[in-house]
Structure formats: C-alpha cells, structure tokens
Amino acid sequence: MAICLGVDTGGTYTDAVLLRDEAQVLASAKALTTRDDLALGIGRAVRSVLDEAGVAPADVAMAALSTTLATNALVEGQGGRVALVLIGFAERDLAAHGLAEALGGDPVLMLAGGHSHAGAEVAPLDLEALADWAAGQQVSAFAVAAQFATRNPAHEQAAREALRRVTGRPVSCSYELSARLGGPKRALTALLNARLIGLTHRLILRAGEVLAEMGLSAPLMVVRGDGALMSAEQAQARPIETILSGPAASLVGARWLTGADTALVSDIGGTTTDIALLRGGMPAIDPAGAQVGRWRTMVEAVAMRTHGLGGDSEVHVVQAGLAGGVTLGPRRLIPVCLVASEAPQVVHDALDRAARSPVPGEHDARFVRAVPGQDRGGLGAREEALLARIGGALHPLGEVLRTRLDGQALGRLVARGLVQVAGVTPTDAVHVLGRVGDWDAEASKKALALMARRRVGSGARLAETPGALAEMIVAGMTRATGLALLETAFAEDGWEGSPGDLARHPLMQAGLAGHEGLVDLRARVAVPVVGLGASARCYYPAVGEWLGAETVLPDLGGVANAIGAVVGRVAMRRSGVVTAPAEGRFRVHLEEGPQDFGSAEDALSALETALTAKTRAAAEAAGATGISVHLERQVKTAEAEGREIFIEAEITAEASGRPRITREGDGA
C-alpha cells in the first residue's frame, strides 16, 4: 500500500491531503499561504496533515503540488522584469495579441532574421548586436521568439546560447512551448513564461528544501494546466505550463469526490474563480490555448474561464449614480481581518483613529506591507524610496503615500509582487455576517463601518450599518459568480454572440427571475454546479438558488485541488508537422532542423519516431512508469486534376503513465 501527499498553494490557503492507494483520504489540513515564502505555508500544512494522520514523513511514497502561483501572478500582473528578443518580426507585431501590453515597459530588442514557412533562413542573425544589448539589461530572464521558429528553431537556439553565455540568466524560447504557427502569440507565451521562471523556481526549490528538512524524500511532482503531472525540474523550466494548475487539479479532484459525469465546476479561491465543464467525467482541453485574465496563450490547458473574483477580491465603492453600490476585483487584497490577527494594535489603532475623523478618508481601512526576499532589480528611485519607507512593518496606507506619484509607484511595486495592500474584501463581509470566524471579525466590522460612511451620488451614505454593507458585498459576489457560470454555460452551448452579453441580457435576467406577463419567461442552469474552495459554502447556496441549479458542495471540496494533485497521471504531449515545399519532396520540421524525404509516408514515419522518442523521454524524466504512447495524425490533402495532393500533416504524440512510487508500506 502506498501513501501519497497532495499539496495545493492558493492565494489565501495552502492545503495538504494524504491518500492511501488513491482511494482513501487519511487526513487533510490547511495553513495560511505565506506569500513572502510559499514554502513556509507548505511546511505548516504538511506537518499538520502528517500529525493528524500519524504518518511518518519517510512513509510518503510520492508528493504532488498544484499551485495557483502562475495563474494569480498573470491575473494580478505580477512577475519578474524580463527582456524580449524578437527575430524577424515587424514593429506592428508588438500590438498583436497584447504583446506590447504584456511587456509593460520591459525592454525589447528587434533583430533581422528568422525563417520562411518552409524552414529556410530569411536573413542572418546578428549575434554580436544581441550580445552587446543583453549585457546592459537588468532583468530576471529573457524570452526569445523568431519568425517561423516552429519550422526551424535555429535562430532561437543560437540566441538562447548567446544570452546564456553573456548574462547567465534563464532563457525562454517560443519553439519549446508550442509547435503551432502564430508568431506574436507564441512570443507572448514565451514572454509570460520568462516572467514566471523566477517565481516558480523559488517555490519549487524552497518546497523541496522544506520537505527534505522534514525527512520527506519522495519525488516531487507538479500539476500542469491540463491536469497531468510533470516533474519539479520540468516545471521550473516551463512554468507557463503550470498556469491553471490549481484549477485543473480541482477538476480532477471534483470528479474523484463527486463522481459527477456532467457538471459546471466552480472553484473559488482568494484571487480567482475558475469555472469549467465536466463532460463525460472529463474536462475538455481548450483548442485555442489557455486564457488567463487578459492573456490568450499557446499553452495546452483545460478549457476553463478564469475570473478575477475571489474571497479576497478588492471591494470598490461605486459613487456614480444616485444609489451607488460596490464592485469586486480583479485585484486581490489581504483581508483586514487577517492583517488584524497578525498586527492587532497597528490595525485597530488606525481604524479607531479614522472612525474619529468626521470626514471619510481616501485610504481608510487600507494597509500596506513589503514582501521580503523578492527580486528588486530594475526599480526606479521613487519605487526604491517608497519601499524603504514601508520597511519591514505593516503601515496604514495613508501614512506611506505622500503624493499622487507615490500612488503610481505603489501600483508598480504591487505589480512586481514587492508589496501587498490590505483592505476590505468579501472575506471581511462574511466575517461581519458571522458566516466564518477564522480571524478578527471586529476589525472587519470597523473597516466596513468606515467604508459604509462613503457618500454616493444622492448624497446618502453607501450603507447605514456594517451588516448592511456586508450583505451588499455578498450579494455582489453572488451575482458576479452567477454571471460567470452563465457565461461559461453559454460558451459551452455554442451560442452566437458574446457569452458575457448573453449572460447579462435582460431576457436572461427576466427568465431567472421567473417573469410573468403576456410572455412568461423561465430560465435555469440545467446541470449541477459543483462548488469548490474553502469559502464556497458562504456563497454558492445563494448562487445555485438564483440560477435554479442543483448545487453540490462536497465535504472535502475545500481541499479538492490537493486531492486532484495526488490522483493525476503523468502525460507528455509533443506535436510536429510535415510540409511539402515542392512536388515529390516532404519536409519534416524537427528541433534539429528540417529533413526532407521522398515520400509522405517516410516523412510521417520519421516524425512519429522522433515524437515517440521525445515524449517517452519526457515522461520518463517526469517519473512515469508503465508508459504508453498514443499517436494521432491529421493529414490535409487537396484534389487536383483527379489526383490527391499532400498539403500538410500534423502529428501529435502523447506518452502517459502513472507516477513512480519510490516506497510502499502501510505508513503506520
């Protein structure tokens, strides 16, 4: 019998579970996520679950980690400062797929070079100019994308070697992340991958150190965005593949917990709500590539919609209009009740001082603290000065910000993950309403009382009491979650038009309300909604009631991600293409360069052999056993003058197996 450990690091909580033979949950535990060093929260959760189950660390046969780190970093605009090298592209390509926006002012170098669609060099690559430019860049990593690199990656490979030699920094090449065409989108994927390398490397390195200190020597696996497992080393090299890792694990966990065949699975965390459809018990893979927040990548991941909506979403006061109101997200804040439990005197003194003021302040119930141990390279003088002012303590935000320019500098520090802001969140609202009592509910009540004093367009207060404001915030969360579920349902049903517009259409809203008149309208979500996440029970009963849907809240839904991490399989996919640059010539596009064959079948067989070897080696490196390889051919042909003409073929290979178990025993 084997005992396996599953760990999930979310925006607020880190969860751990122990499973025996993937069939029985022995114990589960939660600890607060420690954003400055995620491994500390991992260690606390793992120690708790081992103690609860009475299992020795040495008896754990395998450990698997799912994480929302990459997803949350992209949603919140965080990550390291990086540099992008574009080879063979035009300036206008920077505007494609949000590439310029994703750069956010980080350096970019555009060089001549690249290849044609047939894999022939278009122009030579100036490696000397690249080396001179790179030597002056203060960045955490580089991203490289060359025109048609999927047909011939030689220029990306040469640039990578030059950058490593000159700077010693990690380099993310686009051809290693996707075999598909679409240069700007592939460049975006490489850029985001580079931005995540430092974050992911620190997480996995520290997690391994903490587990080793506890005496846990089992191999560490990481969940990919498609729900499959990869080795820790592979995740460090390709962190972009871990976007939607946590949500993908939650789908696997939801199926294991509920046995659901068809259902909308909605996982609410601190930062995001992730929604996907289980059909036939399996999540679909998004053919367009994973979308996280504003970014559409080329990463294979579950078809999931990620919304910047969670228990720790920032609450914004809407002062326009007579009635006013609140909106939520997408930025995550630390709940006031949480920082008050850690620094009660600072928080309560500031809240009481603000309450004595006759006029609401712009920064009432807001606090700021630095996140130690992060990369500070490339900061400007104003950011450095503000960071020094914050120091190592928690401060009321109004005491730190002295000018409007300081506010802009703070935004940049938050985007870099160097500081955290605390403020009113839905978590504070449910503390005020008594639905949870994990932290300092009195601090939440004081914070909501301050926010309730704000004036709306009519001149009236936003709310008369903290409780009334809490109800308003929870109602906003209920509506936003319901709309997100409807949006996913419309998208999966294939309706024409924007799923978001359809979800918000007056006829849809009237149908949900059961409108009666000359035309009676009835609408509901016709499949069960599985609610996952620690706070799901606070919101999802009302969401299900509004949508007219059956709501399933599994007992262990709060640790579904950690369960999904344990019960996943290792799967490695690689794709390649065969083209026909001339009649009777069939070209296989390999990493080593193009190779020509005299027949289509010879070319296809050569590509299948190469992909089989590559995927099998990747699966073995990930620690898989019992590996099987599945090949899929997609051949495009055309008919001309009565004969079939070969146009192009794509072959996909998938090698899958179970994670290798290093130790077996009853764990007792």
> Per-residue pLDDT tens for 457-481?
888 999 999 999 999 999 999 999 9
Mean pLDDT of all residues in 352-357: 96
How far is it, in rounded angstroms, from Cα 126 to Cα 134?
13
| Run of H or E including 428 | helix 426-432
Look at residue 665 in the predicted model and tell me its pLDDT: 41
How far is it, in rounded angstroms, from Cα 257 to Cα 403?
52
Mean pLDDT of all residues in 22-41: 86
Tally helices (H) and strands (E) across the chain: 21, 29
* Least-confidence region, from 410-414, 450-454, 483-487: 410-414
68 versus 63: the higher-pLDDT residue is 63
Look at residue 593 in the predicted model and tell me its pLDDT: 86
Q: How confident is the model at residue 668 (pLDDT cuts 50, 70, 90)?
A: very low
Look at residue 271 in the predicted model and tell me its pLDDT: 84
Look at residue 203 in the predicted model and tell me its pLDDT: 82
Per-residue pLDDT for 84 more than 60? yes
75 versus 229: the higher-pLDDT residue is 229
Per-residue pLDDT for 244 more than 90? no
Mean pLDDT of all residues in 532-550: 94
DSSP states of 297-329: -S---BSEEEES--TTEEEEEE-SSSS-EEEEE
Per-residue pLDDT for 576 more than 80? yes
Per-residue pLDDT for 395 more than 90? yes
Q: Is the dihedral of CA 360, 365, 366, 369 positive or negative?
A: positive
Both tokens assigned to 10: 């979310």
Look at residue 298 in the predicted model and tell me its pLDDT: 82
**3-class DSSP state of 350:** helix
User: What letter would DSSP give residue 385?
Assistant: H
140 versus 485: the higher-pLDDT residue is 485
In whole angstroms, how far apart are CA 320 and each of 323, 324, 359, 458? 8, 6, 19, 9
Q: How confident is the model at residue 75 (pLDDT cuts 50, 70, 90)?
A: low
Look at residue 537 in the predicted model and tell me its pLDDT: 94
Q: How confident is the model at residue 529 (pLDDT cuts 50, 70, 90)?
A: very high
How far is it, in rounded angstroms, from Cα 312 to Cα 308?
10
Instruction: Report residue 334: phi and psi, to 5°.
Output: -80, 125
How far is it, in rounded angstroms, from Cα 151 to Cα 179?
8
Look at residue 666 in the predicted model and tell me its pLDDT: 41
Look at residue 662 in the predicted model and tell me its pLDDT: 61
pTM attached to this predicted model: 0.76
239 versus 587: the higher-pLDDT residue is 587
Q: What angle do CA 245, 248, 254 make, to 5 degrees?
A: 140
| Proportion of the chain above pLDDT 90, given as a percent | 60
Residues near 140 by Cβ (< 8 Å), separated by ≥ 6?
80, 81, 82, 169, 170, 194, 197, 198, 375, 377
120 versus 449: the higher-pLDDT residue is 449
- Mean residue pLDDT across the chain: 90
Look at residue 282 in the predicted model and tell me its pLDDT: 81
Q: How confident is the model at residue 1 (pLDDT cuts 50, 70, 90)?
A: low
Helices within 61-180 (DSSP H only): 69-75, 99-103, 127-134, 154-167
Contact 79, 417 (CB under 8 A): yes
Mean pLDDT of all residues in 210-234: 89
Q: How confident is the model at residue 9 (pLDDT cuts 50, 70, 90)?
A: confident
Mean pLDDT of all residues in 246-269: 90
Mean pLDDT of all residues in 493-520: 94
Look at residue 96 in the predicted model and tell me its pLDDT: 76
